[in-house]
Chains A and B, each alone.
Chain A
């Protein structure tokens, strides 16, 4: 009896979570005319693929997609390299100034992002990077949270393994590259997913920086389209569905690592 209550609660909430997503998928295949007639699911024979060609015809959707992939990919790679190397140094070496560096980084994590918008705009303006992809990537190189994630995880790599690598002829960078990074594979996966999702969904900064539509990323591009083609609901949902797919696929690829990485800082920190 009690179990039945537990399960029904869980199922009710599951439905709440899933219905909007299912509705998104259905709407992506729904003819514009049917939005009024069938609020939920139209008969299967009325579903259509027409929204997708319409989407590509109305706007440079592919262009947006490529831009998003380029910006997110570049940002994740640079962040990964900088954060993992820095996290390794903070986890496995003792050196003068270490505490100070960690303290300053932690303190800046407390400052909300919007504080940086104005000075960052000024900086990017002076670097002549307004309306460029570099203007999105460069300010995103620093991921303090990511660095602490790596530090936390690399603390648990045994010192003896690093010493063994040193005895086996590694220099310090080779230790990082051949031993520490491969051992940290789960956290690398989690980091990549978190960083990718962050950049992929980034809106405010690109909205400020980007001006030309051929440089738009997906969030900016799709949002602009809403203004212009307000009535084409089907194409809008098709675009949203396609925009979400890469994150979903990456998540399925890395989900084990992701959950572990997400909760690592919280539970242990």
Chain B
């Protein structure tokens, strides 16, 4: 009896999770693939079109606008956030820094605001005339108060990248700091005795030590950036912004699927996004050489 108990227990324990996973995780994934082969009008009317959704999508200039906006945002965010958060983490990890926990909390605090509420806040911060950003730039550098960040097409993405920078730099820094702290201190002592300077210590001890976390953060940031929606949608007043400068892939999905009612097309957009993200992640992993060496 005892052995039977211990044998059936794990299945019983997993059952709630696995059953709800099958219904709300696995089934939708499979259903999504099928759905992407249909044109639909709401959940009821469906018409099989094969791969037409994908072919149409590749020819739709709006999709390519969304893609280029999203890619710009992702590239800009990752390129600014990561060096900055790693730099801050390295500064905080210096043994002579006091108040490490306080700084860590301060850097992390924007993240507590959350994406949606940050967007609501930045709607005002970025406003012309009385917005905090323009007022600060005016006070510090004498720039005009009238810069319209969210209604000038060229400034929309820089503005979004800046908000994301404010939101996520501290979040990533927490990961980097934890990784830095887990690097064995004796390695630095050994490197010092072996005659390595600061730069070579960073290159030969720090970087290899935090490499798994570095890759983890890079890949996750890229995947997350490619799913940009809330920030743009809210900041641009539930629209895609001037000249569609704030149209993102997920916003394109939302507009077609839920404002336009074509769930099949939405599924096709979703899988196209998934494919892009997968390819990008694989490229990143290949470049960094993960998986080739054993850790």
Roughly how many angstroms separate A14 CA and B100 CA in the complex, as a whole number? Answer: 12
* B163 CB to nearest A CB, Å: 9
Which of A98, A138, A226, A262 has a CB less than 8 Å from the CB of B123? A226
Classify the interface of chain B: helix, strand, loop or mixed. helix
A82: chain B residues within 8 A (beta carbon): 16-17, 20
On whether the beta carbons of B16 and A81 are closer than 8 Å, the reply is: yes
Per DSSP, are chain A's interface residues mostly helix, strand or loop, or mixed? helix
B residues near A69, Cβ cutoff 8 Å? none
**11 extra A-B contacts, CB within 8 A, seeds A95-B7, A204-B254, A263-B178:** A18-B109, A85-B13, A118-B32, A121-B263, A123-B28, A126-B43, A197-B112, A201-B114, A201-B117, A227-B237, A266-B216
Distance (Å) between the CB of A39 and the closest chain B CB? 3
Among A2-10, A46-54, A55-63, the stretch in contact with B: A2-10
Task: Flag whether B227 is at the interface (Cβ < 8 A).
Answer: yes
Whether B166 and A89, one on each chain, are in contact in the complex, defined by CB atoms closer than 8 angstroms, is no
Identify B117's interface contact among A122, A227, A244, CB under 8 A. Answer: A244
Q: Which of B61-69, B72-80, B125-133, B187-195 contacts A (4 or more CB under 8 A)?
A: B125-133
CB pair A116–B43 under 8 Å, yes or no, is no
Chain B 133-163, CB-CB to A under 8 Å as 1, else 0, gives 0111000000000000000000000000000
Identify which of B117, B258, B269 contacts A219 (C-beta below 8 A). Answer: B117
Q: Knowing A20-B132, A21-B110, A86-B14 are in contact, say whether A262-B9 is a contact too (CB < 8 A).
A: no
Among the listed B17, B124, B271, which residue makes an inter-chain contact with A147, where contact means beta carbons less than 8 Å apart? B17
Binding site for B on A (CB under 8 A): 3, 6-7, 9-10, 13-14, 16-21, 23-24, 27, 35-36, 39-40, 81-83, 85-86, 88-90, 93, 95, 98, 101, 104-105, 108, 110-123, 125-126, 138-139, 141-142, 144, 147, 171-173, 176, 197, 200-201, 203-204, 207-208, 219, 222-223, 226-227, 233, 236-237, 240, 243-244, 247-248, 251, 255, 259, 262-263, 266-267, 269
